[in-house]
Amino acid sequence: LESPQDTNVKLLKICQLLDKEISYYNWTGFYFKNGDKDELVLGPYVGAVTDHVIIPFGKGICGQVAESGETFVVPDVHAQDNYLSCSIDTKAEIVVPIFKNGENIGQIDIDSHTIDPFTKEDEEMLNWLCEEVAKIL
Ligand code: SME
């Protein structure tokens, strides 16, 4: 297993790559379960500074994915009741869970300034990416 520092450098590089290569990815970051607590803590990310460093399970799109363990595609964030706004520019969001040994340990979260931008290809690519990420955690 790698040191947490090495892992965080890799996770940041993944965020930077996605941010650079995919025009409609406008905030890209990782959240992880915070120890034994029923909350998420923000990990490496690229994009605007966010107030949502800690997210209780069940709160917002991220908190819901922490509980459901299922990818959540939000074509229009304004249509969501249980949503935590990070930026007024955000119009859409996708959150994909990360499983390690069958346990939902975190997620990748991507915000877009474009409405309804995420396709099945995004879902499949991010699913694959989360499986790869799980291997270095
Ligand atoms: N919008 C998320 C909160 C995290 S920010 O997008 C970075 C949510 O509703 O859970």
The CATH number for 65's domain is 3.30.450.40
- Total structural domains within the chain: 1
- Note the pLDDT of residue 1: 63
What is the average pLDDT value for the chain, to the nearest integer? 97
Alpha-carbon gap, residue 52 to 129, rounded angstroms: 23
ipTM score assigned to the predicted complex: 0.96
Range of the domain at 108: 4-135
Helix (H) or strand (E) holding 55: strand 54-56
Token match 């346990």: residue? 103
For residue 50 and ligand 1, the question of a CB distance below 6 A is answered with yes
CA dist list (Å): 20 to 8, 26, 62, 102: 18, 9, 23, 31
Mutate-to-test residue for ligand 1 from 109, 112, 118, highest number of ligand atoms within 8 A of CB: 109
Judge whether residue 4 has pLDDT over 90. Answer: no
